[in-house]
Amino acid sequence: MRTTRRIGALWTLAAAALASLATVLALPAGSGAVTQAAPANNAEPRISGSATVGSTLSATQGTWTGSPTGYAYQWVRCGRDGGLPSGADCATIGGATTTKYIVSNADVDHRLRVRVTASNSDGSKTVASNATALVRAADAGKP
């Protein structure tokens, strides 16, 4: 009877040791309690180009910490005041999801911003650029 108990206890210990080993082997290298932080913005995106109908505006992604693995862009049309610094109260411009945007007639008398979302495996963060100057028609100021 004692021998049976010992063998049973040994099997229980061996099974626990194997389960622990399997858990360790299943973890990716360098994993554990250490996680990467979600992206955080150090410098906001910037827009370059003329806020004139027909001109092409270009956006930078800004600078980020947290090792972003991807960026998404969304151009927004804001009121004459430029809207909130986040661009949250501005209207999204359909299909304007790249680093470049061609200013259209619909933008006249508005200001534009680009909202950039940086993401990694731990999350994402969205920030907006400063607003452009008030958009004007291509022939504005010409005699």
pLDDT in tens, the chain (143 residues): 555 555 554 455 444 444 444 444 444 554 554 567 999 999 999 999 999 999 999 999 999 999 999 999 999 999 999 999 999 999 999 999 999 999 999 999 999 999 999 999 999 999 999 999 999 998 765 56
pTM of the model: 0.73
CB 62 within 8 A of CB 43: yes
Count Cβ atoms within 10 A of the Cβ of residue 111 and give its class: 0-12 exposed, 13-18 middle, 19 or more buried: buried
> Which is nearest to 114 in space by CA: 13, 46, 33?
46
Rounded-to-10 torsion of CA 73, 78, 81, 84: -50
Dihedral pair phi/psi, residue 98, rounded to 5°:
-125, -175
